[in-house]
Amino acid sequence: MSSPGDSDRSYTRLDLWFERVLGDRGSQHFGSGWFSGLIGLLLGAASFFAVLVFHFHEWLTVNELRSQYPVDLMRGLLTLAIIAAFFFSALNLLLRPSKRLGIAGIAFTCGAVILGGAGVEIEHDRQAPLHLGLDWLVLNVVLLSLVFVPLERLFPLKPEQGTFRPGWTTDGIYFAVSHVAVELLTFFTLLPATLVSQAWQAEALGVQAKSLPIAVQVLLIMIAADVTQYWVHRSFHRIRWAWPFHAIHHSSRNMDWLAGSRLHVVDTVITRGLILVPLFVIGFAEQALYIWLGIVAAQATFIHVNMKFRFRWLEHLLVTPRFHHWHHAVRPIDKNFAVHFPWIDRLFGTYYLPADGSWPPEVGIHGDPVPAEFGAQLIWPFK
């Protein structure tokens, strides 16, 4: 892990606690054993929580996903994860002077095995009144971290930043809450679109979006969603009462794959809820909407990464990390509102992307008015 000093105000109390428990101040280059320890800890923790999901599936799985899981395949993947966690944690113990990551990985993995591992029996007749998306959290944290953490280590925009940079635990809590509480958030974000579409159906307008090829529908969804998102996003920057909620997202002083998760619940519900209204009214096919949801989730993560890539001509067609990093710059903060297509910002006069390929020297909000801790951030906009 990184090496904060206790006097560094940019680190939260939880950052410092993790540093004391799992801190490893040695070299973090590939081959040093640090990355092996990180993978071992990640897979060990994921295996432990996955076993809990098997035990309490009626409580800890997303209702819509539960019946879709290929159980035998999931058992096989869990077995592989447990084996890999042991292997990488042991490799860390062999290569690394500091054994903390390896020991933690072994501990989580042993816990997964003691609780039954992949052999836990599933009782399908049990029901629960509440569903938490622990399964959704485990799947996403494993997939996204295994993809983006190595890429950020190999091609860093800011090599000195490190994986466990200031505020990573705050962003991690946002990430965890948004996935575990996915059903509750989905209910509130769908509410405006459901009410409006019931009163104003696409068929009444003569719109036949469902008859179009899926690829065409997905493209139209991306355009409609991004235009709507653009104006909602821009309004959050301009309306006095709305800005404090969106300021939470801009408060991070470090950009990486996890930073995009820092979103106040009010910002999340309003933005996503309004984006879905035109999509429901037009009446796109469910399959096309699900494909778009996957695209926007991946792109929303990608545009925040700590990776120095120059996409050249692609920067004019799709929103890239450099384009969005300039949106997060201390200056200019009111540019680049689109999340899919930069030409939308060109159309409305808010496009900013230096031709010299430069990146913003500093991101965040001037003066750092937003508190660093998760709980304080939740109540700060209401003050």
Record the tokens describing residue 50, joined without a space: 């996955």
Residue 8, in any domain of the structure: no
Do 203 and 147 fall within a single domain?
no
* Residue 3 belongs to some domain of the structure: no
Q: Same domain, yes or no, for 281 and 366?
A: yes
Beta bridge partners of 363: 329
Q: Are residues 194 and 277 in the same domain?
A: yes
pLDDT 10s digit of each residue in the chain, 383 long?
A: 555 543 445 789 999 998 888 877 777 777 778 889 999 999 999 999 999 999 999 999 998 888 889 999 999 999 999 999 999 999 999 998 889 999 999 999 999 999 999 999 887 767 778 889 999 999 999 999 999 999 999 899 999 898 899 999 999 999 999 999 999 999 999 999 888 877 776 555 546 788 899 999 999 999 999 999 999 999 999 999 999 999 999 999 999 999 999 999 999 999 999 999 999 988 899 999 999 999 999 999 999 999 998 788 899 999 999 999 999 999 867 999 999 999 999 999 999 999 999 999 999 999 999 999 999 999 999 98
Do 55 and 150 fall into the same domain?
A: yes
Quickly list H helices, the chain. Answer: 13-22, 34-55, 57-60, 63-66, 71-95, 100-114, 134-154, 168-180, 182-199, 214-238, 243-250, 265-282, 286-302, 321-328, 343-348, 374-379
Residue 168 inside a domain? The answer is no
Residue 145 lies in a domain: yes
> CA–CA separation, 264 vs 224, rounded Å?
24
Are 208 and 327 part of one and the same domain?
Answer: yes
On whether both 111 and 205 belong to a single domain, the answer is no
Determine the residue type at 314.
L
Same domain, 121 and 201: no
239 within a domain of the structure (yes/no)? yes
Same domain, 110 and 245: no
Whether 84 and 149 have beta carbons less than 8 Å apart is answered as no
Whether 352 is covered by a domain: the verdict is yes
Is the link from the previous residue into 332 a cis peptide, with omega within 30 of 0?
A: yes
Give how many domains the chain has, as a whole number: 2
DSSP state of 255: -
DSSP, residue by residue, 21-62: HH---S--STTSSHHHHHHHHHHHHHHHHHHHHHHTHHHHS-
- Let me know whether 318 and 196 are in one domain: yes
Together in a domain, 276 and 142: no
Q: Which residues contact 249 (CB under 8 A, 6 or more apart)?
A: 262, 263, 264, 267
> Residue 275 falls within a domain, yes or no?
yes
Task: Name the residue range of residue 115's domain.
Answer: 13-154
Distances (CA, A) of 22 to 10, 14, 81, 85: 19, 12, 21, 17
In a domain, 37, yes or no: yes
